[in-house]
Structure 1
């Protein structure tokens, strides 16, 4: 039952007031104010944003890269504290949260990686403090106390890690400053009934050593989505004869009910003579009451669920899921307490960055270790019924990396950058699945003669897989000032990568051994080598105009689908589990201008990239196998962005962008048919006489997944003094997306119609930023939209025949309308 929020809101407000009073005491002199961020220096009406897109500090207007840069002030003002929140305000970037597989589908300019395979690294790479994170589970991390966010569009092979064929989201956390700084923030979000407390302290311990500690904790009493499902009966059998009834109670009625605690400790040492060393250690813990809380059944063949005719399909921030039966959960590996669904994520990471700056040379070494563990229990039909599927998973990721690079800074036309990256990784994956009517280990109860039967009593099959990876990459770039206004840059990255993997289904219930193979160990020793060159030419006819063009290539290694299936019906199980590298090449160009006495920024970019062996994951239901397939594609488009900050109205900022993207398959001649596709709908290739149906279609010219043609944004912000030491600020931002297909296989029933969202905020506080009260609203239009999805398991029929019925469409829904009250103080 939903608890009233008014008491908790009163408590949150009282806590914030107490914190504000405590932190506002005059413990330090007035001149110990927070210093402006180093990357945002006011020049004229606009701020000159400095980014590190080429591993050096440069103005965003002076580099041949399409970058959307978010400053520290903007991040705080709009509460952009997760990858999902950043994507929700950035056109041409979509993030869909999924329960299993890689955990996310990140898509930029129409190029992204399917969420259903845990073995696929993302085409859109996430980089934190210079360290590459390719796993989709990175979206489970909470990011706060950020100095800046940079969104680099298009292939970025030269400067960032090893896999960035579609783009990079680069996040930089804040460092200790030269003066003491203390911040406190208390927030309450009304929809999810979430209270959040954030504390940051930064101070110099000596003339050479500074420390910064940032901690955030949050708890939801409610949720974003409502679970609407009654108790259901669930049956197992003994020797297929006697049915045993179990009760599957409804999952939590408000989801995700998240609890989170995260922290980061930063030590920065200045050794003098250009030597600095920065150590960051952080950890994250979060738990939700359902791994698939945002799954929306948004389109069904008959308007109602194929598994449960009492559930109507449609948008509405509503799910329909039930817990494990408690008696089954008692002996089921990793099942939640009393059968409750959940997702629990834990991680920690340590990054050490050593920099040695000489007059003409800069040496940087970045060492990182990161680990995460994700466990979940899901109702894996994602729409509960009496014939449902339940599963649990426990997966871990370990990664060690070291990057060493040297950059020359000679006062000469030619400078060099060179470096080497080493990474060692290990993924461990275990999964346990049960189906309704599963025999209870042949009806045998655990005992001295059969001790294993109890552990596997309700299990249909288990999976175990490990991948050990190793990468060595060398990269370098030469920049040549041909004349003072023209720069030519050329570079290349060489990557050698190996992956040693195995997959096995250690236990398969006897009833399913005709479908799944028990105990067979499938091994793969993969080795990949690649050269990815890049060249760019820039021309500055005057100081505030840059014209650029670039030829880029990119590469993402092949891999192994750790969460696949060894099907007894598959002719080549090794091919089902392995996939080829993804490559990109193409051109990008544009013009960046700062006009009207630095009041107007106007940028135009065009691009065209061809992708070979784009990695696309597919569940082949006729043979019960996951397959990561490859296809050729092209994305091309035009992007225009502007920002206007007039001198005549200090504090006013008007900004926006308009993007056209055409992302299509260029060659996918034997793509699998989507579930229920008929020959008249294009499923008319590769007739299989054994099943009397066609199995393939030609997707050449068809759109990619989550690839809208038109996207755009428009926003206004205004900050001004009120007098008496007070100031006020308001902002409003609209984001628009054209329609698109959620499916990567041309399924017209996965259609997402065009939508627009509105974010807005108002804030009042002290002119010296000692305190502030803010109200922050997101998706105020309360628009439900889908950022990725799957065919509903156990739905759809007659694929490749005239009587085909399409599967229920389950989508990864975005957040509904949220409104947050936030109280902040700093000194």
Structure 2
């Protein structure tokens, strides 16, 4: 580790430069325009073919390669920080993330729920929540497509798509070294890129990035905590239980203490002008010192404002209170570190092959992808540690996916053109989890199970086949009608059981040999969907595009691999399975490029209805995770602008303002939030089930107003040098972080400020930059869970609300970056 740090420091001392990547003629021409004060043209693939962002009838926020580098946009979270109506919450367990766009998202509590915002990398789907663990670098562009995108991107894009494109080898040899240091987390980062043309038709690009943290973004404050266990068999036979007192040491004082390595190799073969073949192989390793390092008790249930378990004061800051698993217990606990330290370790591999063959009037495209990831963690799963109340767990999950997409696009001179294609995907998820709580142990059990209260094992095998097509009809020179549909057939075969339960919880949790025969749950799900789309585009003159669209989308139903098979539930199959989510609605927009390519103004209006919106919650009376479905509607208006005056070369002003209203339209039997009383609208049914009517209530993480404004400027500084800076702010109005109308989960309005300054060679041979993010050090949450073992009395007048644990953002960070091009 110290050797790696010395290498990074040596690279820092060596110098830096912004990479000058090869671009096609259209982009080069756009850059020439920008250099004389006009707007830069950005090419996007929102319809799976290259088009200008201003000529595609889709609401899309495009981030250019230049902006990606200047603002260090290298993760899904950083993309969200640059996109006002996109939110990303990092979760420690479950799916690992909550991605929300225009108020539509998927809760993080179930690993089996697909995200409503699809993530696509180099044309292949990577939509699992754990994609948040991936680091992205050496990017050519980022596109955020808003609203349903089923026709071109398939299932699981009911809210939108984040599409990332990585760089290919260019025609020229280039070597780039980059080093950085971030002060708050004490993070050292190094990056090396080598692009080499091996011949006139074959090129290779190597890219690698590594980082280590000596500190972290969050501060953990805790003390030694005791955890007393009793032998259940001795206790049940009248003994004392032979109490054993263990000590849980405080978790790492600075989190996440991240270590990361990413590598990618790209081969590009162009034997003719008509044929292009690209092969990419990538590897990602990421490990942090606490899986729930950003869980903050920001609003406590007690009037005193202190935690119901740990006794610390709740607050909107970057402080946690968590302890490691006791070391003597961790020594034999499955997937725990011997010393009991908390962690999250993520590893992924991917290979992606793309072929494009231009036959003149027809272009054939193929994308073949295989990706797999393994995620392991040990968490303190009550997110705050007190004496003898700890809940610790470990998990090991693996995801594998193979996909093949083939499409053909015509380019006839006539008024009618076609796009047809097909997709095949095969997936597999393997899952196992081990939990300790309630001070239980069994001295007669195996060493691995001695301190386990309950364990789970599950898998889901999935298979998807899709056919899609679109007809484009140019009615007149300025008017185009496009209509298409995607058919999706999907199967999921799943298995779930709890192979070991301590005797003390066998009255609550079923195991695989349970006498009622419900201890093993199997599901064979079949889903079929038709998702049509129609778009009318009018181009009255150059620089103006007006469009209207009717769109639909489909998100997979599925199986909650991390759920609970509770003896209080008479139908575990219904608890663990859930229906698909569907969207339909309208969108209209106008895109304009005005004032001699100096001003860009875009306006979008939308309204979408969602049926069977997937809402996951923990039903505490029956100890079961359940995925309910609700109906919802989101509607709004978005305005964005960009101004690059020719009179002030190098100046760029940009911003947006967005209004979104996202509400439940039919959720009359929604679960109550923890501690909700009858006076607050909660009704206790049958003495067990607590329900409320959420019709008209806001969705989770759905601010009504969001916006952004930024200024960028770059100018020559004499003697072959140049100087540049950027200042960007992002605003959000207040919102509920809870999907169950919990007023105590409210996140207040906030604004963040990013800024950067850079100095280097005019020919981009080297550069030194300082990049600051969230300079106001504003804390906010992008998702929430009720604190386990807090709150109670739901549905009664004596209800006590639970502590609210939010997924916190990153605090103020300041990074020095040095880049050198050879």
Common fold: TM-score over 0.5: yes
Structure 1 partner of 2:413 = 411
Q: Are residues 1:246 and 2:246 paired?
A: yes
* Alignment TM-score, normalising by the size of structure 2: 0.96
Cα offsets for 1:771-819 (capped at 9, x unmatched): 0000000000100000011000111110000010000000100000000
Task: Pick the aligned partner of 1:128 from 116, 121, 139.
Answer: 121
**What are the within-5 Å matches in structure 2 for residues 503-582 of structure 1?**
503-519=496-512, 520-582=519-581
Indicate conservation of the 8 Å contact 1:131/1:161, yes or no.
Answer: no
Task: Pick the aligned partner of 1:731 from 718, 726, 730.
Answer: 726
Distance in structure 2 (CA, Å) of the matches to 1:173 and 1:309: 45
Cα offsets for 1:721-775 (capped at 9, x unmatched): 0110000000000100000000000000000000000000000000000000000
Distance in structure 1 (CA, Å) of the matches to 2:374 and 2:5: 33
Distance in structure 1 (CA, Å) of the matches to 2:372 and 2:507: 37
Indicate conservation of the 8 Å contact 2:300/2:308, yes or no.
Answer: no
Structure 1 partner of 2:516 = none
Task: Pick the aligned partner of 2:13 from 14, 17, 20.
Answer: 17
Distance in structure 1 (CA, Å) of the matches to 2:390 and 2:279: 48
Task: Pick the aligned partner of 2:153 from 153, 160, 164.
Answer: 160
Unpaired segments ≥5 residues, structure 2: 513-518
Distance in structure 2 (CA, Å) of the matches to 1:419 and 1:306: 55
Task: Pick the aligned partner of 1:434 from 433, 436, 440.
Answer: 436
Structure 2 partner of 1:263 = 263
**What are the within-5 Å matches in structure 2 for residues 548-627 of structure 1?**
548-627=547-626
Cα distance, 1:394–1:305 mapped onto 2, change above 3 Å? farther
Query: What is the Cα deviation at residue 412 of structure 1?
Result: 1.2
Cα distance, 1:400–1:38 mapped onto 2, change above 3 Å? farther
Q: Are residues 1:65 and 2:65 paired?
A: no
Cα distance, 1:463–1:211 mapped onto 2, change above 3 Å? same
Indicate conservation of the 8 Å contact 2:492/2:558, yes or no.
Answer: yes
| Aligned-residue CA RMSD (Å) | 1.7
Distance in structure 2 (CA, Å) of the matches to 1:284 and 1:11: 20
**What are the within-5 Å matches in structure 2 for residues 447-486 of structure 1?**
452-486=445-479
Query: What is the Cα deviation at residue 307 of structure 1?
Result: 3.9
Distance in structure 2 (CA, Å) of the matches to 1:418 and 1:513: 54
Structure 1 partner of 2:674 = 675
Structure 2 partner of 1:769 = 764
Structure 2 partner of 1:449 = none
**What secondary structure sits across from 1:400 in the alignment?**
strand
Query: What is the Cα deviation at residue 36 of structure 1?
Result: 4.7
**What secondary structure sits across from 2:270 in the alignment?**
strand
Query: What is the Cα deviation at residue 8 of structure 1?
Result: 12
Distance in structure 1 (CA, Å) of the matches to 2:316 and 2:765: 43
Task: Pick the aligned partner of 2:224 from 231, 234, 240.
Answer: 231
Unpaired segments ≥5 residues, structure 1: 25-31, 445-451
Query: What is the Cα deviation at residue 313 of structure 1?
Result: 0.6
**What secondary structure sits across from 2:717 in the alignment?**
strand
Structure 2 partner of 1:353 = 354
Query: What is the Cα deviation at residue 37 of structure 1?
Result: 6.7
Structure 2 partner of 1:344 = 345
Structure 2 partner of 1:28 = none
Distance in structure 2 (CA, Å) of the matches to 1:699 and 1:426: 35
Query: What is the Cα deviation at residue 227 of structure 1?
Result: 0.4
Structure 2 partner of 1:196 = 189
Indicate conservation of the 8 Å contact 2:564/2:625, yes or no.
Answer: yes
Indicate conservation of the 8 Å contact 1:334/1:392, yes or no.
Answer: yes
Query: What is the Cα deviation at residue 358 of structure 1?
Result: 1.6
Q: Are residues 1:208 and 2:204 paired?
A: no
**What are the within-5 Å matches in structure 2 for residues 777-792 of structure 1?**
777-792=772-787
Distance in structure 1 (CA, Å) of the matches to 2:5 and 2:501: 51
Distance in structure 2 (CA, Å) of the matches to 1:669 and 1:577: 21
Indicate conservation of the 8 Å contact 1:307/1:383, yes or no.
Answer: no
Indicate conservation of the 8 Å contact 2:220/2:251, yes or no.
Answer: yes
**What secondary structure sits across from 2:131 in the alignment?**
helix
Query: What is the Cα deviation at residue 35 of structure 1?
Result: 3.5
Distance in structure 1 (CA, Å) of the matches to 2:265 and 2:464: 29
**What secondary structure sits across from 1:574 in the alignment?**
helix
Task: Pick the aligned partner of 1:389 from 379, 391, 410.
Answer: 391
**What secondary structure sits across from 2:135 in the alignment?**
coil
Cα distance, 1:589–1:511 mapped onto 2, change above 3 Å? same
**What secondary structure sits across from 2:41 in the alignment?**
strand
Q: Are residues 1:491 and 2:490 paired?
A: no
**What secondary structure sits across from 1:323 in the alignment?**
coil
Distance in structure 1 (CA, Å) of the matches to 2:697 and 2:74: 35
Task: Pick the aligned partner of 2:820 from 815, 819, 825.
Answer: 825
Task: Pick the aligned partner of 2:404 from 387, 397, 402.
Answer: 402
Structure 2 partner of 1:298 = 298
Query: What is the Cα deviation at residue 16 of structure 1?
Result: 1.6
Indicate conservation of the 8 Å contact 1:162/1:473, yes or no.
Answer: no
Indicate conservation of the 8 Å contact 1:228/1:318, yes or no.
Answer: yes
Distance in structure 1 (CA, Å) of the matches to 2:462 and 2:8: 46
Indicate conservation of the 8 Å contact 1:37/1:147, yes or no.
Answer: no
Q: Are residues 1:93 and 2:91 paired?
A: no
Query: What is the Cα deviation at residue 39 of structure 1?
Result: 6.8
Cα distance, 1:8–1:270 mapped onto 2, change above 3 Å? closer
Indicate conservation of the 8 Å contact 2:202/2:269, yes or no.
Answer: yes
Single out whichever of 307-316 and 797-806 deviates more from structure 2. 307-316
Distance in structure 1 (CA, Å) of the matches to 2:816 and 2:437: 44
Cα distance, 1:8–1:259 mapped onto 2, change above 3 Å? closer
* Alignment TM-score, normalising by the size of structure 1: 0.95
Distance in structure 1 (CA, Å) of the matches to 2:638 and 2:729: 17
Indicate conservation of the 8 Å contact 1:663/1:703, yes or no.
Answer: yes
Task: Pick the aligned partner of 1:186 from 179, 183, 196.
Answer: 179
**What secondary structure sits across from 2:549 in the alignment?**
strand
Indicate conservation of the 8 Å contact 1:226/1:253, yes or no.
Answer: yes
Distance in structure 1 (CA, Å) of the matches to 2:574 and 2:12: 57
Structure 1 partner of 2:276 = 276
Indicate conservation of the 8 Å contact 1:9/1:188, yes or no.
Answer: no
Task: Pick the aligned partner of 1:105 from 98, 105, 111.
Answer: 98
Structure 2 partner of 1:688 = 686
Structure 2 partner of 1:29 = none
Q: Are residues 1:47 and 2:40 paired?
A: yes
Structure 2 partner of 1:448 = none
For these two proteins, the number of residue pairs brought into alignment is: 801
Query: What is the Cα deviation at residue 89 of structure 1?
Result: 1.6
**What are the within-5 Å matches in structure 2 for residues 167-182 of structure 1?**
167-182=160-175
Distance in structure 2 (CA, Å) of the matches to 1:466 and 1:8: 38
Distance in structure 2 (CA, Å) of the matches to 1:396 and 1:723: 55
Query: What is the Cα deviation at residue 271 of structure 1?
Result: 1.7
Cα offsets for 1:308-334 (capped at 9, x unmatched): 353111111011110010000011000
Structure 2 partner of 1:803 = 798
